[in-house]
Chain A
Amino acid sequence: MAFLDNSGDIILDAVLTEAGRRRMAEGNFKITKFALGDDEIDYSLYNKNHASGSAYYDLEILQTPIFEAFTQVNAGINYGLLPTTATDLLYLPIMKVNELTVITADTRAIASSGSSGMFMVTDSSGDSSAAIRTVLSDNSINSINGNSPQTCVLLETGLNTGQGNVPNGTAANRKSYLAANGLIDSRLVVFYDSRFFNGVKGLAKNSGFSNNGQDNALMSQLILSDGSRASIQSGLDNYAAAMILGIKNQIVQPSSGTDTEADLSVISGPKGIVAAVAPTINPGLDAEYSLYGGETSIGGIDCKFIDTTIFVQGTSTSAQLQIPIRIIKLA
């Protein structure tokens, strides 16, 4: 009678993060919950066609070398495992930026700037004889007026299964694949650098985003309103959080032709929500341009800029997106 193998006992040694050490010194160190992460894992290594059978499907994943613990708070867990209890899900939503020509032409949404992929936010404070927005528009660069945003970066979530693949983008599929499984992000968290922005506008409750079920004509009403400040830790220094609304994305496959809704939506499949991100610049940004940014020339005119990133995360699905932002101002 052989002994049982008891080597599977899992005891892990934890290391304190910077925040943990600080709290220890302050005397308010108290752990109340835990989360699980898998940041090192590349799930594309899961080989469902391994010739040796199912026991070998995850062989490469299980051999993934794991990093030692980081002590920086932001490097702890970036994505995390999801507490979803359903076991029959085959699809999960993703989040994408909608920069389609029709959308940027007909709505408040803007596209990123050329090959840089960055979204321009203009700082017009101090503009006098020349205006930064004129400089940018002369060069066909879309931008958000960061002093009083009326335009935005438009986001969509949904199952991007691809044109011609099931499930396609019908209203019924939205209901059965997304709504029925709690995969609709009616609220999203936006993390922004509070050194440069003092808030973020999102879509108001009475906004709409839909198409005509017959001829696929866009019917949108994107109304911006202030997002609410949220006390959610981003783990990033200087970052603050705001909560914005996710509006029902009612772009559906029209009867006029399969997948023609791709003219309006970047989600090829059932669509979840649409949301807008329009950051508002901190008034009086000045020294920050030399501290954190640089100088460039647009159309022969000298400008100052700061590059930063806005992070957006769905509260229900944990779908995430990073939006690269360039704040730009006349030099």
Chain B
Amino acid sequence: MAVTNYERLDPTNDLTNTRTLLHESIPLTGTIISGTYGTFPDEANIKNYSHGQFQSVYDYPYLSSSANHIFDIAIGFDEGSPLSGSVSSTQESKKINMYNQMSQVLLGYTGSNNTVRKFELDTTLDGSGEMKEALFLNFSRLITKDQIKKGTVSVTLGTGSWAAPFALTKTLTDASASATQGTANTLGGDYGVLYDSGNTARGIVFYQAGLVALSTSSFDTMTDFYSSSAGTSSVGNTLVSSSISASCDSLRHRVQNISFNNTTEINSSIYFCRVPHNKYNHSGNPTYLSSSTIRVKSVNSDQPIAYITTIGLYSADNELLAVAKLSEPLRKDPTNELTLRVRLDY
């Protein structure tokens, strides 16, 4: 039934808007990425597609409705890369297209010929430090939410032999990036640089896009970046001669840990519902009366009491737009004046 007793909200004094950033820690252990749900490289939580352009990683066998998509893995190189043009290449055009798609969306085009930019292992975008070959980790919006928090990304890669990849590890972090410095702003949003412990740039991370682009340089010295029945191969040879899915498998084999904090931006309106001391001490609740007598009083000099459980927020034409509930009844009598802060998140 309609409520007919309202208290006005002054838009100047009774309303404030706030913006809050919530962060969650997202740890992605290598065991989920490789080995938990089956035998490498055919785990049930790894989805390969007939188009063969990327590989998806789920947190559970992907045929289950309980599975959540965590991230995609892809590889690519620029057509100016030394890896391009090899006679033994496999899916070369797809690898070049993937690199170009990533760079055109995240960096855009430049120069008099309007050519697509190349990823750089620095924040200057001046043509130096170009990263012409990249291993991409595209994180799902489910886990990055609005963006990855700057300065929280950590990627630990196994750089040991194929048989014991984590006998040697390399941890890349964006510790130099923060909300105020250490990043560059591009078409695709802000990006920071991932450095190893020796302060060598090994990749970049796009915070709003939720994408990590790793340089192959972390694995350059290895001769067995990938191993199959056909033998072992370096990272360069793998990117050239192996299919994209096999290259993705080899990267998964070497991811020990990925972690970052995500960010959710919450905009809130807080309504200050001020309940005066001399009002709302009586109730229209049918149980409030017994034989028309107010139950909480014995004589008329007793204080009236009511108990608040609900706050309704209304439009000017009395339509109920939002409801807030208290966790327990709140006593209201003429001796107290309440300000109930009702928050509405968007």
Residues of A within 8 A of B (CB): 10-17, 19-20, 23, 29-44, 46, 48, 57-58, 61-64, 66-71, 73-74, 76-85, 87-94, 158-162, 165, 189, 191, 231-236, 241, 269, 311, 313, 315, 317-320
Check B295 against A44 for contact (C-beta < 8 Å).
yes
B302–chain A nearest beta-carbon distance, Å = 8
Check B305 against A83 for contact (C-beta < 8 Å).
no
Residue of A nearest to B304 (CB): A87
Check A41 against B287 for contact (C-beta < 8 Å).
yes
Check B296 against A318 for contact (C-beta < 8 Å).
no
B79–chain A nearest beta-carbon distance, Å = 46
A320–chain B nearest beta-carbon distance, Å = 6
Which residues of chain B have C-beta atoms less than 8 A from A68's C-beta? 325
Which residues of chain A have C-beta atoms less than 8 A from B271's C-beta? 14, 31, 34
B327–chain A nearest beta-carbon distance, Å = 6
B324–chain A nearest beta-carbon distance, Å = 4
Which residues of chain B have C-beta atoms less than 8 A from A23's C-beta? 315, 319, 321
Pick from B5, B341, B343 the residue with the most CB of A within 10 Å. Answer: B5
Given A82-B5, A233-B2, decide whether A12 and B341 contact each other with a Cβ distance below 8 A: yes
- In this assembly, does B9 line the interface, its C-beta being within 8 Å of a C-beta of chain A? yes
Q: How far apart are the CA atoms of A234 and B315 in the complex, in Å?
A: 13
Residue of B nearest to A91 (CB): B292
Residue of A nearest to B327 (CB): A66
Which residues of chain A have C-beta atoms less than 8 A from B305's C-beta? 46, 58
Given A33-B314, A73-B319, A94-B292, decide whether A81 and B329 contact each other with a Cβ distance below 8 A: no
Check A19 against B321 for contact (C-beta < 8 Å).
yes
- In this assembly, does B4 line the interface, its C-beta being within 8 Å of a C-beta of chain A? yes
B286–chain A nearest beta-carbon distance, Å = 7
Check A61 against B307 for contact (C-beta < 8 Å).
yes
Check B341 against A11 for contact (C-beta < 8 Å).
yes
Which residues of chain B have C-beta atoms less than 8 A from A17's C-beta? 320-323
Check A14 against B322 for contact (C-beta < 8 Å).
yes
Q: How far apart are the CA atoms of A67 and B325 in the complex, in Å?
A: 8
- The residues in B between 290 and 343 inclusive whose CB is less than 8 angstroms from any CB of A are 290-332, 334, 338-343
Given A11-B341, A13-B343, decide whether A234 and B1 contact each other with a Cβ distance below 8 A: yes
Which residues of chain A have C-beta atoms less than 8 A from B296's C-beta? 43, 46, 48, 57-58
Residue of A nearest to B333 (CB): A87
Residue of B nearest to A232 (CB): B2
A188–chain B nearest beta-carbon distance, Å = 11
- In this assembly, does B345 line the interface, its C-beta being within 8 Å of a C-beta of chain A? yes
Check B322 against A320 for contact (C-beta < 8 Å).
no
Which residues of chain B have C-beta atoms less than 8 A from A44's C-beta? 287, 290, 295
Known: A31-B9, A48-B296, A313-B1. 19 other contacts (CB 8 A): A30-B315, A31-B271, A31-B344, A32-B314, A33-B8, A33-B9, A33-B316, A34-B273, A35-B314, A36-B308, A41-B329, A46-B296, A68-B325, A77-B310, A77-B320, A82-B283, A89-B304, A91-B293, A92-B292
Check A32 against B8 for contact (C-beta < 8 Å).
yes
Q: How far apart are the CA atoms of A90 and B278 in the complex, in Å?
A: 16
Residues of B within 8 A of A (CB): 1-9, 11, 269, 271, 273, 275, 278-332, 334, 338-345
Check B284 against A81 for contact (C-beta < 8 Å).
yes
Which residues of chain B have C-beta atoms less than 8 A from A35's C-beta? 3, 5-7, 311-312, 314
Check B4 against A36 for contact (C-beta < 8 Å).
no
B314–chain A nearest beta-carbon distance, Å = 5
13 contacts between A and B (CB under 8 A): A10-B338, A17-B323, A23-B319, A33-B314, A38-B285, A58-B296, A62-B328, A66-B328, A74-B1, A77-B3, A81-B282, A160-B291, A233-B2
B147–chain A nearest beta-carbon distance, Å = 24
Check A14 against B328 for contact (C-beta < 8 Å).
no
Check A92 against B7 for contact (C-beta < 8 Å).
no
CB-contact partner of A89 in B11, B282, B344, under 8 A: B282
A176–chain B nearest beta-carbon distance, Å = 12
A273–chain B nearest beta-carbon distance, Å = 15
Check A20 against B308 for contact (C-beta < 8 Å).
no
Q: How far apart are the CA atoms of A158 and B281 in the complex, in Å?
A: 20
Q: How far apart are the CA atoms of A78 and B331 in the complex, in Å?
A: 19
Q: How far apart are the CA atoms of A17 and B319 in the complex, in Å?
A: 10
Check A37 against B317 for contact (C-beta < 8 Å).
no
Check B309 against A89 for contact (C-beta < 8 Å).
no
Q: How far apart are the CA atoms of A269 and B290 in the complex, in Å?
A: 13
Which residues of chain A have C-beta atoms less than 8 A from B5's C-beta? 35, 80-83, 318
Q: How far apart are the CA atoms of A158 and B292 in the complex, in Å?
A: 8
Which residues of chain A have C-beta atoms less than 8 A from B334's C-beta? 87
Check A82 against B342 for contact (C-beta < 8 Å).
no
